[in-house]
Amino acid sequence: MPTHYRRHSRRPRRRAAAAVITGLVTALLLPGQVAFAADTQTATITASQAFYQVSEGETADVTLVLKTSDNKALTAAATVSYRTGVGTATAGTDYLTTSGTVTFSADTVPGARKTIRISVRHDRTAEAAETIPVTLTAASTGLATGAAPTVVINANGLPYLDKKLSTKQRVADLLARMNLDDKIGQMTQAERAAVTDDTTKIASWRLGSVLSGGGSVPTPNTPTAWVNMVNTFQQAALSTPLQIPIIYGVDAVHGHGNVLGATIFPQNIGLGASRDPKLVEQVYHATAAEVRATGVPWDFAPCVCVTRDERWGRSYESFGEDPNLLTRMTTAVTGLQGRKASQLDDPDRVLATIKHYAGDGNTSYGTGDSGYAIDRGVTTVSRRDFTRTILPPYIAGVRAGAGAVMPSFSSIDWTDDGVGNPTNMHAHKELLTSMLKGTLGFDGFVITDWEGIHQIPDPTATADTLLPTAAQVRTAVNAGSDMFMEPNTAARFETVLKGEVNAGRVSMTRINDAVSRILTSKFQLGLFDKPFATTDRVDQVGSSQHRALAREAVAKSQVLLKNTDNVLPLRSDAKIYVAGRNADNIGNQAGGWTLDWQGRSGATIPGTSILDGIRQDAPHALITYSADASAPVGKNDIGIVVVGETPYAEGYGDVGGPAWPWGTDAQKETKSLTLQPADKAAIDKVCDAVTTCVVLVVSGRPQIITGQLGKIDALVASWLPGSEGAGVADTLFGRQAFTGTLPVTWPATTEQVPVNVGDRHYKPLYPYGWGL
């Protein structure tokens, strides 16, 4: 019998045995005893939060909350004793010793609250934060207590807390007060899932940052819950002596995609088609407003990579294939941050991150890492061509004031010294320190990508070696990275880096430089002065103004590739037959980085599908909708067939790459530059039956459609429009003119790929810049 079959086959027998035992126990108990065992209520009294910050001379209000096991009112009174314990604060000098009991009477409903008050004295001494632990002890039967809360007396009187001093002075003062553990903690970023169940890790690890990966969200996934989550993490960070706030970060690459109800803008490839830098700035400003409204001050965007191969799974994250276009679109940086450093602490601005530095859109097919075909691969290029075709958008992003830069997973192999010796970007000191921080004058901080340093080659590592290794850590730090995205290995990273510093393999000069850069951004964002977010602006998330802007951006991103006899725009009272799997699938039209890392097919987010938009713009039309074109088609119908891709992200979107194993069946389909069979069939059935046929391609990259082009009267590249599909319909019915032009070349055959403007043999189906 195969091993795996034996292992699984034991489970039913275990369940059966458990059922027999349960039955025997039940039979031995009297009916009343069984009922009593099932109905016994237990109560828990716990603090509403783990940490309570209070200033000298004020009173700390510690709130106790009642919970019951059956979520019913108390059957008997519940009493808890409390007492201030021994922390770093001094009883009598810093606070008044407090003790007593709190009772919730019988019939009190769960969720009821009572308050303990602890008086804090004003000693007029400049000092770091001090702690007062509060112990809770059950004083009645059937009662449990939650984790003991801690009152934190805020640091006061220290120069770095003085808003009147310059940022440079505040950073210098704070840095001088930090020990090595404080500094290494500031260089470390963990994922929210690693600290949610025990927020004290934020304090014990001295974390500088926490992030949400794609799909990592609070429950419920609402703007208010996001604010509460970030504030909970911030409370833990501010329990440390120096009270250095964390900076929370997210990937809001086309709107605040993790948050249900946020405005989802067109992916960058569509914004590139608009050729409108001002529009891009407005879109990213709206994104910043929604991100900051949820308590998050940092966005891992924009991607300013130049995409040079349509097969790459991240091609839609780029604005296009021409570095000049990308350079113009770095208005995304000022959209996020504002045009002045002083705007960073505004309630509608966030720190921008230009990524992925540099060359991730130029990797050679077949060199991908982690099983991918092209993603995380090797860019083989001369230094001259690198400077000419890859670097310009990063130069523009730095000049626009980007506060952070994220290195690429990919590697660079200089042809100047012979091919075959690539250097991973996370280890590339020449490009991170000499070029970025030296020649380009970048004064922000470098944040690694998700476990990015784990991919730095370490010849000593084996399959059992824990990551990151010492070699990976010291190489990355010495190369120029300042903060390290170690979602699930933050503690190990800190231990390893401390060992490397103590061994003299990483200098304190390098550590101090990294920490100074990070602290500077935190001061500029106003996190020291206003560390906690409010819910005052949660109505910005998914607001009508932002959705109207998104609809405008969608319309301006549409590229009219073909329009025989000017069949577009359509009459709003026409007889219309709509088909295709992407006509009424808002998840497909949003693409990756929407609710999940890989996105989700289906009715996933609020907004309008393309079909919804058609119905809005043509209220007097007679509309038939059949996703698979199985409904009868009339010869005089105007056919609109909406085809294209399902969501993907990164290497799982590579043509020839692995399938996303946990997605919907539609998302598991083989990624291709040609339409899926069902899409082709829908085009054939509708276009062969009607007199006028319009085809919309909803995708993150061009789809080869040359073979069916002859039966198509109008062809539109709709890209990935996001939540406002009505913008697509606006161009179909003439509410908005077609103004978009191709940000990438549209190939005629798969054999041409990769194909880019400027190639020696350049004969695509539609050239770069095409648009009727």
Instruction: Enumerate the active-site residues.
Output: 449, 650
CB atoms within 10 A of CB 500: 21
Question: Structure tokens of 495?
Answer: 């231990």
> Angle at CA 53, nearest 5°, toward 51 and 54?
145
3-state DSSP assignment of residue 443: coil
Cα dihedral: 570, 575, 581, 582 (round 10) = 30
Dist. CA 299–CA 750, nearest whole Å: 35
Question: Structure tokens of 601?
Answer: 């097919």
Residue closest to 380 by CA, chosen among 434, 309, 440, 462 = 309
Chain Cα centroid distance, residue 627:
32
The H-assigned helical ranges of 386-507 are: 392-399, 429, 470-479, 490-502
- Give the residues across from 748 on adjacent strands: none
CB atoms within 10 A of CB 232: 18
Dist. CA 618–CA 612, nearest whole Å: 10
Residue closest to 106 by CA, chosen among 63, 64, 43, 62 = 43
Q: How far is CA 406 from CA 523, 533, 539, in A?
A: 20, 25, 30
Contact 408, 425 (CB under 8 A): yes
Residue closest to 174 by CA, chosen among 247, 243, 88 = 243
Chain Cα centroid distance, residue 409:
17
Contact 134, 82 (CB under 8 A): yes
Question: Structure tokens of 401?
Answer: 């004031």
Residue type for 408, please? S
Q: Classify residue 463 as exposed, middle or buried by CB count within 10 Å of its CB (0-12, 13-18, 19+).
A: exposed
Dist. CA 410–CA 423, nearest whole Å: 9
Question: Structure tokens of 135?
Answer: 């112990």
Q: How far is CA 62 from CA 91, 92, 129, in A?
A: 17, 19, 18
For 69-208, list the strands marked E by DSSP: 78-84, 99-104, 113-119, 130-138, 143-145, 150-153, 188-191
Dist. CA 374–CA 366, nearest whole Å: 6
Per DSSP, the residues of 737-769 read: ------SS-B-SSGGG-S--TT-SS---SB-TT
Question: Structure tokens of 87?
Answer: 């922390």
- Give the residues across from 623 on adjacent strands: 576
Neighbouring residues of 171: CB distance < 8 A, sequence distance ≥ 6: 160, 516, 519, 520, 523
Question: Structure tokens of 21?
Answer: 């035992």
Question: Structure tokens of 225?
Answer: 């819950």
> Angle at CA 424, nearest 5°, toward 418 and 428?
85
Dist. CA 137–CA 81, nearest whole Å: 5
Contact 591, 316 (CB under 8 A): yes
Question: Structure tokens of 772?
Answer: 């009727």
Dist. CA 609–CA 725, nearest whole Å: 5
- The answer, yes or no, to whether the previous bond of 356 is cis (omega within 30 of 0) is yes
Dist. CA 674–CA 54, nearest whole Å: 62
Return the DSSP state at 1. Answer: -
